[in-house]
């Protein structure tokens, strides 16, 4: 490249200055137009005589007054905002103490009070065609020599870096690569845009092939498969590190604060707090063949995740390398060398049946609870007692805490479902053989109209659940009485009404007792009217005797309703009714109902798992890295 003469440089400098002057003049014209339009808008709406023309320069006193008024308005606005924030905080604190807020709102307020109120600004990313950038750079000139510029690109996986160089003086005018601060490890550099792309694939249940096809459709450079796997491992390690720190530094202190303020429960001398938790496991596929399992411990009162873990029966990299070894694409020595390096990143951490994953996860989570200064002393779970038995067998059947016993509470939603499951099973089992032309067939004895049909079973199940929920926080005797009231109410007949356990009065849900109360009220009303009539005639009620010598009884037009008109009515043989009664005896056991008095459910765990499997779908092939990454993302949001 030859040197540029001084005349050419002066000419270019003059052209650049002329451009700057033109741009400045255009901006001044635009500002003047805006001012004139603003003045016109302010003047035209006024009615009456026209105002005097505005002075070109306002007097100094007016400027001082205006500044003072601006300051006063600013102070008034700040005081108003402070007052509104104070009133909002007071309202929120009152709502938390009164228990009006939902669990999600409580979690939000707990974290707001714990201190993270900074506004996080997110930088937006754009997709731009290369030709547009080339055309844009043709309009640019060097700020030193006013020469033309060229643009070069450097692809690093999905991310691209731009470099602008002057053609004449060869100076680097812009380079985006130094401005980026990538995450560095010992042997690998991870760029943020590529991390985001891999993270998005993992969240949507997509693999490397899907990313490759997407990049091909968008005509974007893509990474190779080995780089994709390295980025996946890095994404999981980063999200896991952040989530663990979030649970340790924000969730646990918020739980300790809530227990101290609302429940008056404080840590012991060792600084460990006893909390009530819900625990539930979940699997990637239904049945007993799932290779992925997960579980979380969630505080029962605040709904905050305390701890979680995942298990996997397979590793994608191990499977791939084993197939390569079988196909003799690699040697045994290469495989052994790779295996030693891969041990720290291997996702295979469980061997056994899929159902046993929940037991292993419970033992792991309870075993490390004291590391975060909490003890899970109240365990709210479903009817599956395998995890609870596994916890009791730790430390030679002394439990995970030895001196602190774990109390098992029932999820009332699962207990509520047991009634329907038991009744449906009874209908399926109770059959009768009858002869047909084709041979002997079985007939369901308890199903059909007027018996245990599906609508009747659903109603009995809902009545059972309502009896439990209505007596939460009460006594076991009241809960048991309410359950048996539903059984005897639905099995009553006109000849044998059994409503002694049903509530009495005019507002009772029992139609029979309500009818009796209304009938008694009508009788009392007629007796009162009769007495008033007799007093008005001057006759006493004692002398009012009929021709046969019996006292007069007021005639009543009230008729008792029939039991066949009930919403839920079924009539069975005595032997079949005894079978149903045995189910109620088992499900109204005092030990079971005692574990339902708190009225807690596993809804937080079910909600968390539904969100996890939404972003790590059961309909798509997923691995342990994708599952753990999704779990990390959603545990930090709760």
Rounded to the nearest angstrom, the gap between the alpha carbon of residue 166 and the centroid of all alpha carbons in its chain is: 54
Quickly list DSSP for 526-589. HHHHHHHHHHHHT--TTS-B-TTSPBP-------PPPGGGSSS-----HHHHHHHHHHHHHHT-
Place of tokens 């298990």: 311
Gap between the Cα atoms of 413 and 382, Å rounded: 9
**Bigger pLDDT: 459 vs 563:** 459
**Bigger pLDDT: 171 vs 364:** 364
Question: Per residue in 515-528, pLDDT tens?
Answer: 888 888 877 777 77
CA distances from 217 to 212, 222, 485 (A): 9, 11, 66
Gap between the Cα atoms of 497 and 485, Å rounded: 12
Return mean pLDDT, the chain: 78
Q: Would you say residue 504 has pLDDT above 80?
A: yes
- Sheet architecture: strand order including 149-156: 149-156, 159-166, 172-175
Q: Would you say residue 43 has pLDDT above 70?
A: no
Q: Would you say residue 111 has pLDDT above 80?
A: no
| pLDDT band at residue 65 under the 50/70/90 scheme | very low
| 3-class state of residue 139 by DSSP | coil
Q: Write down the pLDDT at residue 621.
A: 61
Question: Per residue in 212-260, pLDDT tens?
Answer: 898 889 888 888 888 888 888 888 888 888 888 888 898 999 999 999 9
Q: Would you say residue 541 has pLDDT above 60?
A: no
| 3-class state of residue 399 by DSSP | coil
Average pLDDT, integer, range 106-116: 51
Rounded to the nearest angstrom, the gap between the alpha carbon of residue 7 and the centroid of all alpha carbons in its chain is: 71
| pLDDT band at residue 430 under the 50/70/90 scheme | confident
| 387 C-beta neighbours (distance < 10 Å), count | 26
Gap between the Cα atoms of 620 and 600, Å rounded: 33
Q: Write down the pLDDT at residue 560.
A: 80
Q: Would you say residue 437 has pLDDT above 80?
A: no
Q: Write down the pLDDT at residue 546.
A: 41
Q: Write down the pLDDT at residue 470.
A: 93
**Bigger pLDDT: 125 vs 48:** 125
Q: Write down the pLDDT at residue 479.
A: 95
Gap between the Cα atoms of 235 and 239, Å rounded: 6
Judged by average pLDDT, the poorest of 122-126, 152-156, 596-600 is: 122-126
Q: Would you say residue 273 has pLDDT above 90?
A: yes
Q: Write down the pLDDT at residue 300.
A: 92
Question: Per residue in 592-621, pLDDT tens?
Answer: 999 999 899 999 999 888 888 877 776 666
Give the highest mean pLDDT range of 111-125, 520-534, 535-549: 520-534
632 DSSP 8-state letter: H
Q: Write down the pLDDT at residue 443.
A: 81
**Percentage with pLDDT > 90 across the chain:** 22
Find the helix or strand (DSSP H, E) in which 374 lies: strand 374-381
State the Cα torsion 537-542-545-551 to the nearest 10°: 120
> Residue 567: which residues within 8 A CB-CB, separation 6 or more?
459
Question: Per residue in 455-495, pLDDT tens?
Answer: 999 999 999 999 999 999 899 999 999 999 999 998 888 88
Q: Would you say residue 269 has pLDDT above 80?
A: yes
Buried b (16+ CB within 10 A) or exposed e, 531-542: eeebeeeeeeee
SS3 content of the chain, % helix, strand, coil (to 5): 55, 10, 35
Query: What tokens does 260 get?
Result: 């101290």
Q: Write down the pLDDT at residue 192.
A: 82
Question: Per residue in 372-425, pLDDT tens?
Answer: 999 999 999 887 778 888 998 888 888 889 888 899 999 999 999 999 999 999
Question: Per residue in 275-321, pLDDT tens?
Answer: 999 999 888 887 678 888 889 999 999 999 999 998 988 888 888 89
Q: Write down the pLDDT at residue 297.
A: 94
Q: Write down the pLDDT at residue 32.
A: 59
* Alpha helices (runs of H) in 430-510, residue ranges in sequence order: 454-470, 476-490
Treating both helix axes as pointing N-terminal to C-terminal, what angle do 103-114 and 60-98 enclose, rounded to 10 degrees? Answer: 130
| pLDDT band at residue 584 under the 50/70/90 scheme | very high
- Beta strand 305-312 with 292-299 is antiparallel
Question: Per residue in 173-208, pLDDT tens?
Answer: 888 775 545 555 555 678 888 888 888 888 777 888
């Amino acid at each position: 490249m030859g040197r540029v003469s001084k005349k050419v440089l002066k000419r270019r400098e003059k052209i650049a200055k002329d451009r700057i002057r033109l741009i400045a003049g255009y901006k001044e014209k635009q500002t003047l137009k805006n001012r004139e339009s603003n003045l016109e808008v302010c003047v035209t709406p006024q009615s009456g005589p026209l105002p005097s023309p505005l002075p070109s320069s306002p007097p100094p006193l007016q400027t001082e007054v205006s500044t003072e008024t601006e300051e006063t308005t600013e102070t008034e606005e700040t005081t108003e905002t402070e007052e509104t924030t104070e009133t909002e905080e007071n309202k929120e604190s009152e709502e938390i103490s009164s228990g009006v807020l939902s669990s999600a709102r409580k979690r939000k307020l707990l974290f707001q009070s714990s201190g993270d109120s900074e506004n996080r600004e997110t930088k937006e990313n754009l997709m731009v065609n290369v030709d547009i950038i080339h055309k844009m750079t043709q309009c640019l000139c060097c700020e030193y020599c006013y020469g033309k510029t060229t643009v070069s690109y450097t692809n690093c996986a999905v991310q691209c870096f731009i470099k602008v160089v002057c053609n004449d003086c060869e100076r680097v005018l812009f380079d985006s690569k130094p401005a980026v601060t990538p995450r560095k490890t010992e042997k690998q550099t991870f760029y943020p845009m590529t991390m985001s792309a891999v993270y998005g694939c993992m969240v949507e249940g997509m693999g490397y092939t899907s990313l490759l096809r997407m990049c091909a459709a968008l005509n974007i450079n893509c990474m190779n498969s080995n780089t994709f796997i390295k980025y996946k491992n890095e994404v999981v390690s980063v999200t896991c590190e952040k989530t663990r720190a979030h649970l340790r530094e924000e969730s646990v202190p918020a739980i300790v604060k809530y227990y101290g303020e609302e429940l008056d429960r404080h840590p012991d001398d060792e600084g460990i707090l006893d909390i009530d938790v819900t625990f539930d496991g979940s699997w990637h596929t239904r049945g007993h063949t799932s290779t992925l399992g997960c579980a979380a411990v969630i505080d029962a009162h605040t709904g905050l995740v305390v701890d979680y873990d995942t298990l996997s029966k397979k590793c994608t990299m191990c499977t791939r390398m084993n197939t390569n070894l079988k196909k003799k694409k690699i040697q045994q020595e290469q495989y052994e060398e790779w295996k030693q390096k891969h041990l720290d990143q291997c996702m295979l951490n469980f061997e056994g049946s899929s159902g046993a994953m929940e037991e292993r996860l419970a033992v792991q989570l309870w075993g490390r609870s004291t590391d975060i200064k909490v003890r899970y002393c109240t365990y709210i779970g479903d009817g599956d007692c395998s995890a609870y038995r596994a916890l009791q067998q730790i430390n030679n059947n002394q439990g995970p805490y030895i001196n602190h016993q774990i109390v098992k509470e029932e999820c009332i939603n699962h207990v509520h479902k047991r009634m329907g499951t038991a009744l449906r099973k009874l209908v399926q089992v109770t059959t009768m053989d009858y002869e047909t032309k084709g041979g002997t067939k079985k007939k369901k004895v308890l199903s059909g109209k007027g018996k245990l049909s599906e609508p009747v079973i659903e109603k009995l199940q809902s009545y059972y659940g309502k009896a439990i929920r209505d007596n939460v926080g009460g006594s076991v005797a009241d809960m048991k009485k309410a359950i048996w009231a539903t059984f005897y109410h639905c099995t009553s007949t006109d000849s044998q009404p059994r409503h002694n356990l049903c509530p009495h009065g005019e507002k009772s849900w029992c139609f029979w007792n309500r009818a009796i109360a209304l009938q008694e009220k009508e009788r009392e009303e007629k007796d009162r009217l009769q007495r008033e009539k007799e007093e008005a005639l001057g006759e006493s009620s004692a002398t009012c005797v009929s021709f046969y010598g019996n006292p007069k009884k007021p005639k009543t037009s009230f008729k008792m309703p029939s039991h066949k008109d009930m919403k839920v009515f079924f009539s069975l043989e005595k032997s079949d009714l005894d079978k149903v009664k045995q189910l109620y005896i088992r499900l109204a056991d005092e030990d079971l109902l005692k574990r339902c008095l708190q009225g807690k459910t596993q809804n937080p765990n079910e909600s968390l798992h539904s969100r996890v499997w939404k972003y790590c779908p059961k309909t798509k092939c997923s691995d342990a890295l994708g599952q753990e990454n999704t779990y990390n993302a959603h545990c930090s949001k709760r």
